[in-house]
Amino acid sequence: MKFTGFELRRVAMPLVTPFRTSFGVEHARDVLLVKAVGDQAEGWGECVASYAPLYSSEYTDGAVEVIRRYLLPALGQLSTVDATGAERTFARFKGHPMAKAAVQTAILDAELRAAGMPLSAYLGATKPAVPAGVSVGIMDSIPQLLDAVSSYLDGGYLRIKLKIEPGWDLAPVRAVRERFGDAMLLQVDANTAYTLADARHLAQLDAFDLLLMEQPLPEDDVRGHAELARHLRTPICLDESITSARAAADAIALGACAIVNIKPGRVGGYLEARRVHDVCAANGIAVWAGGMLETGLGRAANVALAALPNFTLPGDTSASDRYFARDITRPFVLEDGHLRVPTGPGIGVDPDPDALGEVTTSVDWLPL
Ligand code: OSB
Ligand code: MG
């Protein structure tokens, strides 16, 4: 397809409750949306970078800079643009997977809309709906946490993930298990907050029959996770460390993880996310769909990916109202604990012009 240009739109989306993790608190999402405008169709990509480089090195203003200054000019050199070509073109620029993923997804969405094919079908998805879990932030008190978990369970969420950090780990997990019972699917996410010296401490979480422990150690400490795995019964799941399909293959070969969280933004797009899925499937490693507090545009694409066959655990693909009072697309809702996979072409959803207009803080048009 020929693309006339790309629109970079910033939107400010207040969160219904602040989201606290071991790396910081978010009160609102400062989202970058990329719209690819082609001669046959338009497509959307949501950049999952947050306002500051706390989860990984990327942040929203940095993504805007790298897209304007490097990624779009490189696309401008091509005679025709598609998602595969964009991936190849972006490869010579190091890092910035979230920025690359946003542009690549906008292009892929436009291509698939032009071809009349849903993203789920393109990726090889096999399920009409995906089971929904919810990621529960660090709270000020245990009673507050129990109230939050209780309302998510009432809403139908099938799995609870508790964010943990030193000082907020054993007690909240014990309290949630005691209150809600052993049958509940429960897991924890440390977002790199521990070191190997905490191995004995973390092993005390084995008593609570967790599905998994997500990313206890730093992003580049893959060998540390392999060592830690020898001290734990709880399976280790990697998030931050899995930056590519190759990184996934290495982590698996080292015994650093038994489960992988897949986030397209973290690995540079849906094409690479699909490869991570395939590498894991070939090695008998289960995967699940992570989230980065996406709006309906990013969520739609995540849900399509989560419908692939090796996504055998519930994801962080929650309903729109877990995050936002008003989403910018038709809201994703829980139906029997599941989100329905969109069936329209491309990502299968469109922004609502009024809702989008209300939260937009700037729009920039960049001709190709
Ligand atoms: O580590 O999975 C994570 C949110 C922002 C950054 C990192 C993470 C998260 C979440 C929330 O856990 C996932 C979601 O509900 O979208
Ligand atoms: Mg995580």
The pLDDT-based confidence of 239 (bands split at 50, 70, 90) is very high
The pLDDT-based confidence of 130 (bands split at 50, 70, 90) is very high
Q: What tokens were used for 190? A: 């440390």
The pLDDT-based confidence of 15 (bands split at 50, 70, 90) is very high
Query: Which parts of the chain are beta strand (E)?
Result: 3-21, 24-38, 42-47, 129-131, 133-136, 159-163, 185-189, 213-214, 236-238, 259-262, 286-289, 338-340, 360-367
Task: Output the pLDDT for position 26.
Answer: 95
23 in ligand 1 pocket by Cβ < 6 Å?
no
Average pLDDT over residues 114-129: 97
Q: Which atom of ligand 1 is closest in space to residue 293's alpha carbon?
A: 16
Task: Output the pLDDT for position 165.
Answer: 98
Question: CA-CA distances (angstroms) from residue 180 to 11, 134, 184, 334?
Answer: 37, 15, 7, 20
Which ligand does the CA of 319 lie closest to?
1
d(CA 45, CA 36): 8
Any idea which residue has 């602040």 for tokens?
Answer: 18
121-340 topology per CATH:
TIM Barrel (3.20.20)
Domain residue ranges in the chain:
3-116+352-367, 121-340
Query: Is 2 annotated as catalytic?
Result: no
For ligand 1, atom 8, name the residue with the nearest CA.
Answer: 292
Question: How high does pLDDT run on average in the chain?
Answer: 98
Question: What homologous superfamily does CATH list for 3-116+352-367?
Answer: Enolase-like, N-terminal domain (3.30.390.10)
- The stretches of 91-169 forming alpha helices (DSSP H) are 97-115, 119-123, 142-155
87 in ligand 1 pocket by Cβ < 6 Å?
no
Task: Output the pLDDT for position 128.
Answer: 98
132 in ligand 1 pocket by Cβ < 6 Å?
no
Instruction: Dump pLDDT digits (tens) for 60-71.
Output: 999 999 999 999
Q: Is the pTM of this model over 0.85?
A: yes
Residue 236 DSSP SS3: strand
Q: What tokens were used for 25? A: 């608190």
109 in ligand 1 pocket by Cβ < 6 Å?
no
Instruction: Dump pLDDT digits (tens) for 81-98.
Output: 999 999 999 999 999 999
Average pLDDT over residues 224-241: 98
Ligand 1 centre to CA of 238 (Å) is: 13
Closest CA to 311 of 123, 87, 136: 123
Instruction: Dump pLDDT digits (tens) for 349-363.
Output: 999 999 999 999 999
Query: Is 163 annotated as catalytic?
Result: yes
Ligand 2 centre to CA of 214 (Å) is: 6
